A and B are shown apart, each in its own frame.
Chain A
Amino acid sequence: MSREFLSGNEAFAFGVRLARPQVISAYPITPQTIVVERLAEMVEDGSLTAEFVHVESEHSALSCAMGASAVGARTFTATSSQGLLYMAECLNYVSGGRHPVVMMNANRSIALPWNIYGDQRDSLALLESGWIQAYAQDAQEALDMALLAYRVAEDPRVSTPFMANLDGFHLTHTYEVVEVPEQAEADAFLPRFETENKMSESVPKNLAFTAGPDHNTAFLYKQHEAMRRAADVIAESEGEFAEIFGRGYTGLVETLHTEDADTILVTLGSAAALAGEVCGKLRAAGEKTGLLRIRYMRPFPAAEIVRAVAGAKVVAVLEKDISFGFEGVVFTNINSALKQAGADVRTVNYVGGFGGRFISESDIARIYREAYREAGAAAKDGQRVRFIGATA
């Protein structure tokens, strides 16, 4: 193990190198560029043996990764924002073909208005594309997520692509201390990629298939079940990860003081670390606050969320996206989970952090206090969603 001072992009590149991908295809876009630049340097200096393919677009980047995966190679690509949207068609090709491509997405705003800074409107707009979606909180988790991503995606019970999300700039461009594991440890955790789902001369099979009305539903059902199984494989893989690397993770969600909390904030990504600090300060001042960090949006942690928040007086969901005219998609997902479980807890939605606007300590403290004051109140029409930092 070595102790390095790395940005989130660099940490993820170190994690990818430890995973020994055989094909990397990429097209640069801010704030993702550094992760693929570092990997290109690693291929150049011989510390990573991989085919690095410069492609002419994001659509080609993911198509190339899919093609390589379809002959049994471990593959990596990365993108952000407009690039992810340009890939949208390919996302479903990869997941429907059950190719375990791993991709890093640097979360960034979507034009218009043009903006290169962070929010989560890009990845959350593509929740339905059949990819596992994870959100890192810091650079260490980013590195570790690269290794876990391959392990989970390639597991034959899952065989589903993995999108690792890092908040643009706040994670991708911020330097911090990261423990980088030894290659031997990574090799012990992550075996060589072997799959039956590949083109083969000895065992010919049809990939990129057509399925008409008779069979289409069965394919989608199998894909759905595989995504559901991913939850168990994530837990199992994190258990082994902790044994080998000495760092534990908590599955689809991470909770803080939720057991006896009246007011629980739910959020995802790098804002959760500051939310945890605010939660602790409010606790120290006698307020019964809690925090739930969503680590995975797909598979969605419905049962974990219900278990953690059903006993609260109010749940505030803070997210960096908006389905215009309705609410944030994380909020929609959480309300569905609560309703299905028969949990009767008041929920309120805060959206913000758009286009790189920083969600500050005072923003978070205000959300906790405002949500608590309104715990018993009925939802007022027109106040369904509160925008942080908006001026009418």
Chain B
Amino acid sequence: MWAAALIAAAIPGLRAQEHVVRVTPAELTLAVGQKAQLKAEVVDVGGRPVDDAQVFFFSRARRAVSVSREGELLARKPGTHTVIARARIGGKRGPQATVTVTVPQPTPAKVALRGAPKQLYAGTTVRVQGEVLDENDIVRDDLSVALASSDAGIASIDAFGQVTAVAPGAFTLSGTGGGLTTESKIQVLANPVRKIDLTAAVQTARTGDVIRFRATGLDGNGAATDVPVHYSFYAAPDDTLGNAATGQIQQDGRFVAETPGLYTIVATCGDVTARTTVRCSQRFPQKKKLVKVGHGLVADAHTSDLWVWEGIDGRDYCVTGTWGANGDALFWDVTDPSRIEQIAKITVDARTVNDVKVSEDGTLCVISREGASNRKNGIVAIDVRDPRNPKIVSEFNDELTGGVHNLFIDQGHVYALSAGRRYDVLNFQNANAPSRVGTFQLFEPGASIHDVWVTDGVAFSSNWRYGVRLVDVGNGIAGGSPSNPVEFAKYAYPSGWNHAAFPFTSPDTGKFYVFAGDEAFPYGLNVENDPTYPRGWIHIIDFSNLKNPQEVARYEVPEAGTHNLWIDGTTLYVAYYNGGLRVVDISGDLMGDLYRQGREIAWFLPTHPKGKVANAPMVWGPQPHKGHIFFSDWNSGLWAVKLVDDKGRRR
């Protein structure tokens, strides 16, 4: 009963040595939803109550077990939780006692066998996963399920739940976990397949090309069956010098090679196999490279985003932001990319102008603000009809006071991030008097929006661990509009690094993808003196089925980290921070790791000895424009490069 007194914490400098808190009961077990009352008193060394002492309670896991200040407990979630009874003696902090509250997991209610078929053909394998569910149909992750076959001569099961049909007959598949057992009767049928017809869509291909193979099991009469066929391959790569894995095959028959060589695809059904071989050659025998055309050095501040546009005078311009500095937006004439010229600067009350965008007609620039001295950040609209004399026309900070990190302008509407978990849609058709017309917010607990990109009436937001959200803001697919944004598709991946998104409809396959970029700094960010080593990659998500998007491919440069991206035609441009600017071929079907497949066309590492961090590439954002690729570099400003054939070796 007085066990709590024994574990009363000693608080240095207080009267913990002289007094203890006694709690009744000292520990207890409660079911979810059950209540209990704790009682506490403070006693001296002789066990006598202390007159001027008071005890209050608090929980160190209030969402799992709550407690009133008077000690009434309510169990909410399973686990072992701690409640503190803390004393005040004479108005000062006194000793405390710890009460352990155990809330057991709900009772297991059933075992489910996921993936268990009704019948199998002999010689084929399926994977079955057993789960224990509680009375609320929630999986008990703390309990495992052991699978067993009633007749190993009919079907065998390995340690990973793979059930292989051995011979015709019936067997019982049982799953045991949490004190429960469930059974499933499975019939093993004789395998009618006597031959496999295996065809390849092509005989030769390039690395990175997705080749489709079709394998059909034929019975003794040559008729097609529905018996599943398993695909595998072996390779004879041209490069035999310690090469790593060389390709990837899916069980729907799609194969992609990463390195040049011969690839033999093997189709298996029971004891019947078929083979066919294809040759995959190097994707780009004619090498290309990116060459510097021009550079506008920014050495006194870090550079953030860029936007390049054709002005109403027909010349080409660019605006860049600044990061952790003086609130500047820099305007450049880039008509001749070899002579990039800074032509104007707008300074606003901010430390970071993280994002900059220009309207489709080239007349209005909007910039985001963070770090305003009056903490009314919001956005600033700038008339750029004459980019040499940009003029601030309005500010909008209503409900955007906490800072706008990213924004987008589309069809007279500005999409501005705020509060970390929503973007507001602002009508800027009259830039002198903007107004809020809509809002899109993530309501999931702890959800956070980082960026938004709008095209064809769809807003693609990037939301860290909540992934990519597709919202109708005028496309019509879900009845949405700028004043009524309607979400219609989403996809999230586990790392929680989703930072940017760019849509892409493949002209070759018709598939609709979203390329989702990571941002991650596991080794920190060096603002001065030293280079930075970010991580992350481009996730390629097939949204062709909006209800069931699939992450099908990636582009991952080793030892580097992604930031912003752009797609033009079938070319992907990636600002790969310390990995520089990367240009990637995304034609055809996409599967696997595009980097390893040799789809990268060229790369460029911008460095400058007078950069904010000297000689340290840190590419922030790319934008192709009229045959050149412009990009901003966090350490060295604005660059223009051009993709050319690599004519050969030189120093």
State whether these chains interact: no
Interface residues of chain B, those whose CB is within 8 Å of chain A, are: none
